Amino acid sequence: MRALGLTLTMALAAAGCATTQTAVISPATPVQRGRPPGPPPPTLDGAWNLAMVRDAPQGVRLAATLKIEADRAEGSTECRAWTARAPNVGMDLRFERLTAQEQACSDQVRAAERRYLDALAKVRTAQMRSGYLVLIDERGRDQLYFARGG
């Protein structure tokens, strides 16, 4: 029995040697370092639709859009259109030099929009959670939720 086990071990070792392949990397093939292969990281770039504002006035639904592209952002609500610098590295994000053009709207919507714009000014980072873009303030509190728009 021991001889049979030794014979099988030798046969498997010989078979392994016969089929072992060595990977060859040509000098023209760059070796990636730092990030393991896998899906690309989520991106903030794109169009988003407001889903929720923390501490917004009750009973008021604010329709708002957000578009981030490179280091620029723009958006609109029922009361105004706005633009801002939006430097972002990974999930770090800030809205700087926010400028807006006002439009006519109701006082209730204007109050909700004021809360939205205040929250935008406090954003310091973003996270992707269950398909939502969550914007977070300097104290680590979720402020705004956006769904991917079209």
**Is residue 56 in a domain?**
yes
Distance CA 3, CA 88 (A): 67
**Is residue 20 in a domain?**
no
150: confidence class by pLDDT, cuts 50, 70, 90: low
133: confidence class by pLDDT, cuts 50, 70, 90: very high
**Is residue 119 in a domain?**
yes
Report the share of the chain in percent with pLDDT over 70.
71
- Say what the pLDDT of residue 50 is: 95
**Is residue 18 in a domain?**
no
Q: Mention every residue, 6+ apart, whose C-beta is less than 8 A from residue 54.
A: 119, 141, 142, 143, 144
**Is residue 75 in a domain?**
yes
Domain holding 138: CATH number? 2.40.128.270
**Is residue 144 in a domain?**
yes
Q: What is the number of domains present in the chain?
A: 1
Q: What is the mean pLDDT of residues 82-99?
A: 88
Range of the domain at 140: 46-148
**Is residue 131 in a domain?**
yes
> What predicted TM-score, i.e. pTM, was given to this entire model?
0.67
- Say what the pLDDT of residue 48 is: 95
**Is residue 80 in a domain?**
yes
Question: Poorest-confidence range of 15-24, 41-50, 52-61, 139-148?
Answer: 15-24
